[in-house]
Structure 1
Amino acid sequence: MQESDNMNICRDILDTSQLCLEGDFEEQVNQLLTTVRLSRNEVEELERLLSDVSNTLSRAWPGCKVYPFGSIVTGLGIRTSDIDCYVSLPRWVKTPQNKLVFKAKHFLMAEPSIFAELLAIGAAKVPIVKFYHIPTQRHCDINFKSPAGVQNSKLLAALLHTDPRVLPLAVLIKYWSKVHNLTGTHLMPNYALSLLVVFYLQSLSILPSVHLMQQSAARQYMVEGWNSAFEDVHYNSNEGDRSLSLYQLLGGFFDFYCHFDFENQVISIFYGRPLHKNCFKDFELLPKEFGLYKHNIFNGISRQLKLDTLMCVQDPFDLSRNCTVCVHQKLYDKVMKYFKDTAKLFYEEHSENFLKAILKKVEYKDAVHIPITLPTAGQPSKVQKRKNKKKNVQNIQNVRILYSQFRKNQKKPNNFTNR
């Protein structure tokens, strides 16, 4: 019954026909976030899950520690979110990972009133144990391989809390992607979408590059050959960028990526700017900041970044990892169509109708779609024609000016100087 209730909750928050959004854009955002995000009490209850896992696995490996990662840590948790955990074992444990997950399953099964639906997957690249935690009604995956996910989550949490507009923006985009079935299992990873949000804001100089954050770190923290250390930095964005509202940033996200050159450009959160794929084919073209990447490739520590994909979103720490290798042609076409359609709505709809419009579910058909031509500065948008909504017209004009500048920068030859 508890599992059924939890599944009903998940279905309910993705049923946008049940949403009742009233007031202006900001008021609607607050209403939506209150509805879909985990409450403080729900987050605090997850401490019980971590405690139960720790207490149970400590019987097998005294001294082990359980670290959560993913959306619960970053602040992006919504009511459909599962929990991910990394279990750090004492150094004396030498058992292979594919055997660890089965031993963990055995001990978890000894608590049937706490853990259910146990499944150990030992043959995966990252062996995991999946289970359902009955007291909190949450699904959870645990692994023993690497703390990389923990560090990635800490980094995202730091970036998403740098500016008060960033976390709400990321949650809205995540929810939009869930409503339209763009992210999740066998789809675009939630992590990759979060990196797209971060990179978009780096392009607007709202967020710093990860390289800049690593320069501030007192020492390196190496995880599987990659420096995963970073420090929060006091980062001053441009004056014009600070004036952009959450509404402008949300519409601008879709406009940015429906124009982005995915075919030729690598999205590098580490560098904070796009890099041409040729840079990773000819290391002489790579900026000096990629010294560790060159070292790891030359010394056989890592494989080269996979470039022959429809999207290439580089992990901010493991610079050899493309986080969007799973995005196939059919999924890419669907994602790009939704980017374009949502950007079009930004130009056409008044701000009070924008959120409702982009969350309205529409049937997606696998077909060749005619490219959408967005209004240019010389062409009045429907908003300008309709009731002369001055505030919305000014919002669109501000975004156009800002985007025209960084589009020019993207078209320039590789500029490897620091900001």
Structure 2
Amino acid sequence: MNTLMRLSPQLHHWRTYCIKQCAAAGTEAAARGKPNYEEFIGSRHQQAQRSIVVQVSSEKSYNELYNYCSRFGRIVTVQHYSVQHEDELHYMLLEYASAGEASAAISSSAYNAELSGSGVPVRSPFLWFRAPTGGAGRRGQAKLAANQKTLALHTVNGTRSLSHEALKELLRGAAGIDQQLNLLYEQTRLNELGVRMRFIAALQVEQAISGMFPDALAQPFGSSVNGFGKMGCDLDLILRFDGKTPGTDQDSQREASRLIYHTKENLSNGRSQTQRQMECIGDMLHLFLPGVCHVRRILQARVPIIKYHHEHLDLEIDLSMSNLTGFFMSELLYMFGEMDPRVRPLTFCVRRWAQSCGLTNPSPGRWITNFSLTCLVMFFLQQMRQPILPSIGAMVKAANTADIRVTEDGINCTFARDMERVGFQSRNTSSLSELLLQFFEFYSQFDFHNRAISLNEGRALAKPDHSAMYIVNPLEQLLNVSKNVSLEECERLRIEVRNAAWMLESEVENATLSESERREQSWGLLNLFKHPEKSVIRPNMFFKPRMVEVSDLFDKSQTLAPTPPPVNYKNPTVRQQVQSIKAAARSELKQLRESSTTTTATATSAAKTKRSR
């Protein structure tokens, strides 16, 4: 304790220094015009605090809703989306100019009197717009100012994905394969509304426990924020009770305060405590939060999670409390995507191709995952003669004290957050179509049997074990990202990339179709993507049929009695006589059996009587 007291001034100076360095790094990023990952997360979180979600009867309710909600403040943007349940439900996401205006709209809301006996009166940003009651019709509504006009609805059906046929038509009308790649990325990536919805879902969890944990922070990570998410992707959340970033004046006052909070001591180990806390959080989500349903607690996994569905957002959510490495991995992928505009379109195309070939599968198993495919793309871009991405090792060497990140498990997630300090500048000028072809050619020749893929080194290493595919986890380097991939699936990957390289090469060489021919037939990426129905992987798909049936090993002629030939009678009279003889014989046999049974029973009874005497 005395040692800690002596070190406390040094720790205070160290913390202040780190805060100043973070602020300086943020200023540099803002000057460049590109926000870093922490700034991106912070701005989205503030955006969610300024937003509400209102259920309406249809998009035609927009003008009336806008007129009503404008009384609480200036509305910046409104986006519409629908959710398909038994009926189609419509929602409006409204963003105000400030968080106070959004809070005023929420505070003015009322609870449904019809549900007063069964509904839980919870305050949340999820509301619904009821019809006017009594005299509170249009005459009772506040009118817009004379100089204020109704804002145009920004998005209608903003979460509706492009159908497969519509996407094919769009790609068929592209000018070339490079444009196809960019169109595929733009039309399938997670859009602006999708990102906003995910941060509102995080804010709902955060606000639900803010009374007891005012510093709690629910942060999205994974594909929802790293720039590699597609429409409809799941939301990964990490909930931290002490997640607020220090650096405010209030934090400085707390450090100097002599008043210390009494807290509950954790009597068990960290994992058990996390599991118990998550069990309580799961109960709270299930019992109190509107829109949350189908709560499943998976607490025995390596990273305990709570899975649930949000019916107002049509969103599957995975909540964890001890997955900081996933958060920092999202930051790393976000930075890779921001370094070069070709990274994300190339990754989206590779993922789409793998899905069409059946290499990936929504169910967990022996198949390669989207994260492993993303690592394959990143590694390919690192090891080129003129690399497009730097190795993670180079980013670690360029890190300073402001970049130090260490998880509670002691995992070092330190790397440079400012790419200018890394000093990496790519001179590669290859087009997207050329990079895609080179990707397939590279992995068609890669020695998965003996070599491991390391994004930290930016080169292949000797494989440390006998896994079919070995991709070193960029942050937890003792783990294999692709440990689940079977030898059979690894071989299928090599076959498919070889076929894709041959097909794409022929497409590039024969790119002489006219514009009318392009619109009438499949070309480019359309020939690379197979029909989705062919990509369904069934459990018995790779089991070979039996060479010999067991029943074939036995001679059926020996086991089965021969069928007697049919009897031909001279006339019906003879046939009747034969049947009468058979009936008489059966009757005599029956009498003989009955008499023998009676004799045996009498003898047995006499023997028992004799023994009893």
* TM norm structure 2: 0.51
**Counterpart residue number, 2:471:** 313
SS at match of 1:227: coil
**Counterpart residue number, 1:229:** 414
1:2 equivalent among 84, 99, 109: 84
Where do residues 16-415 of structure 1 align in structure 2 (5 Å cutoff)? 19-20=168-169, 21=171, 22-23=173-174, 24-58=176-210, 61-90=213-242, 94=266, 96-111=273-288, 113-183=290-360, 184-186=362-364, 187-204=367-384, 205-219=387-401, 220-223=404-407, 224-231=409-416, 232=419, 233-237=422-426, 239=427, 242-277=428-463, 280=464, 307-350=465-508, 353-361=523-531, 363=534, 366=542
Distance in 1, Cα, partners of 2:163 & 2:381 = 26
**CA-to-aligned-CA distance 1:184-235 (integer Å, 9 cap, x gap):** 4323222211111110000112110101001111133223333211112331
SS at match of 2:319: strand
In structure 2, relative to structure 1, the CA distance for the partners of 1:221 and 1:342 (3 Å cut) is: same
What amino acid is the match of 1:313? I
What amino acid is the match of 1:249? L
In structure 2, relative to structure 1, the CA distance for the partners of 1:134 and 1:215 (3 Å cut) is: same
Distance in 1, Cα, partners of 2:448 & 2:348 = 23
- Unpaired segments ≥5 residues, structure 2: 1-82, 90-157, 244-262, 267-271, 512-517, 536-540, 545-613
**CA-to-aligned-CA distance 1:16-67 (integer Å, 9 cap, x gap):** 6862111222332333223211222221222211111211243564432112
The answer to whether the Cα contact below 8 Å between 1:57 and 1:107 also exists between their aligned partners in 2 is no
The answer to whether the Cα contact below 8 Å between 1:85 and 1:140 also exists between their aligned partners in 2 is yes
What amino acid is the match of 2:327? V
Distance in 2, Cα, partners of 1:99 & 1:349 = 57
The answer to whether the Cα contact below 8 Å between 1:101 and 1:121 also exists between their aligned partners in 2 is no
**Counterpart residue number, 1:385:** none
In structure 2, relative to structure 1, the CA distance for the partners of 1:142 and 1:210 (3 Å cut) is: same
Shift of 1:309: 0.5
In structure 2, relative to structure 1, the CA distance for the partners of 1:314 and 1:330 (3 Å cut) is: same
**CA-to-aligned-CA distance 1:358-404 (integer Å, 9 cap, x gap):** 11227466499xxxxxxxxxxxxxxxxxxxxxxxxxxxxxxxxxxxx
The answer to whether the Cα contact below 8 Å between 1:57 and 1:108 also exists between their aligned partners in 2 is no
**Counterpart residue number, 1:300:** none
Shift of 1:3: 5.6
Sequence identity percentage: 26
What amino acid is the match of 1:248? E
The answer to whether the Cα contact below 8 Å between 1:16 and 1:360 also exists between their aligned partners in 2 is no
In structure 2, relative to structure 1, the CA distance for the partners of 1:230 and 1:338 (3 Å cut) is: same
In structure 2, relative to structure 1, the CA distance for the partners of 1:135 and 1:59 (3 Å cut) is: farther
What amino acid is the match of 2:499? D
Misfit runs of 4+, over 6 Å = 9-12
Shift of 1:157: 0.8
In structure 2, relative to structure 1, the CA distance for the partners of 1:263 and 1:116 (3 Å cut) is: same
What amino acid is the match of 2:168? L
Distance in 1, Cα, partners of 2:306 & 2:318 = 6
In structure 2, relative to structure 1, the CA distance for the partners of 1:57 and 1:139 (3 Å cut) is: farther
The answer to whether the Cα contact below 8 Å between 2:198 and 2:220 also exists between their aligned partners in 1 is no
SS at match of 2:288: coil
What amino acid is the match of 1:335? L
**Counterpart residue number, 1:296:** none
The answer to whether the Cα contact below 8 Å between 1:214 and 1:230 also exists between their aligned partners in 2 is yes
Shift of 1:112: 5.3
* Structure index of larger Rg: 2
The answer to whether the Cα contact below 8 Å between 2:159 and 2:193 also exists between their aligned partners in 1 is no
What amino acid is the match of 2:202? L
What amino acid is the match of 1:32? L
SS at match of 1:74: coil
Higher relative contact order (CA 8 A, sep 6+): 1
Shift of 1:138: 1.1
In structure 2, relative to structure 1, the CA distance for the partners of 1:56 and 1:185 (3 Å cut) is: farther
In structure 2, relative to structure 1, the CA distance for the partners of 1:345 and 1:14 (3 Å cut) is: farther
What amino acid is the match of 2:398? S
SS at match of 2:318: strand
SS at match of 2:181: helix
The answer to whether the Cα contact below 8 Å between 2:184 and 2:348 also exists between their aligned partners in 1 is no
- Unpaired segments ≥5 residues, structure 1: 281-306, 369-419
The answer to whether the Cα contact below 8 Å between 2:181 and 2:432 also exists between their aligned partners in 1 is no
**CA-to-aligned-CA distance 1:129-185 (integer Å, 9 cap, x gap):** 001122221111011113000000100110121111111111222222233343343
Distance in 1, Cα, partners of 2:279 & 2:302 = 15
Count matched residues: 335
What amino acid is the match of 2:528? I
The answer to whether the Cα contact below 8 Å between 1:2 and 1:134 also exists between their aligned partners in 2 is no
Distance in 1, Cα, partners of 2:195 & 2:161 = 19
Distance in 2, Cα, partners of 1:60 & 1:129 = 20
Distance in 2, Cα, partners of 1:28 & 1:125 = 40
